């Protein structure tokens, strides 16, 4: 008696469920290195993945006077926070597409 290996999936199923990779091209998506305006302040985009963008925002310098009338200033460390990578924020340093050098003839 000859034994055959049983298959529980129809032929060609591997192609049906294979991973299809397409480059994501969205001109409005944030990219690392972008400078944006968020809440009226300049911010730098540090890292971007599918679900979030990590933003670096400088905090304002603090100035006060001590009890002995000495002025003291210090700069707090920047704040890191996350926003959606597809957020509608103003991107300040994104370069516009290059225009062609030569005009087309009519």
Number of neighbouring beta carbons within 10 Å of residue 86: 13
In-domain check, residue 103: no
What per-residue confidence (pLDDT) applies to 30? Answer: 87
Domain residues for the domain of 72 are 28-91
Q: What is the mean pLDDT of the chain?
A: 77
In-domain check, residue 69: yes
Is the pLDDT score of 54 beyond 60?
yes
| Residue 34 to residue 42: CA distance in whole angstroms | 10
Is the pLDDT score of 102 beyond 50?
yes
What per-residue confidence (pLDDT) applies to 71? Answer: 94
What pTM value is reported for the model? Answer: 0.58
In-domain check, residue 12: no
| pLDDT tens string 2-52 | 666 555 555 544 444 444 444 445 556 888 888 998 888 889 999 998 889
In-domain check, residue 64: yes
How many independent structural domains does the chain possess? 1
Pairing mode, if any, of strands 90-91 and 79-83?
unpaired
In-domain check, residue 68: yes
What per-residue confidence (pLDDT) applies to 18? Answer: 47
């Amino acid at each position: 008696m000859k034994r055959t290996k049983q298959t529980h999936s129809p032929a060609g199923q591997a192609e049906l469920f294979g991973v299809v990779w397409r480059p994501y091209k969205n001109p409005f998506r944030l990219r690392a290195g972008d400078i944006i305006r968020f809440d009226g302040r300049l911010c730098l985009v540090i890292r971007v993945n599918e679900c979030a963008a990590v933003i670096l925002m400088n905090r304002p310098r603090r100035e006060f006077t001590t009890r002995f009338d000495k002025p003291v200033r210090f700069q707090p460390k920047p704040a890191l926070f996350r926003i959606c990578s597809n957020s509608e924020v103003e991107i300040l340093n994104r370069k516009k597409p290059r225009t062609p050098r030569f005009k087309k003839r009519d």
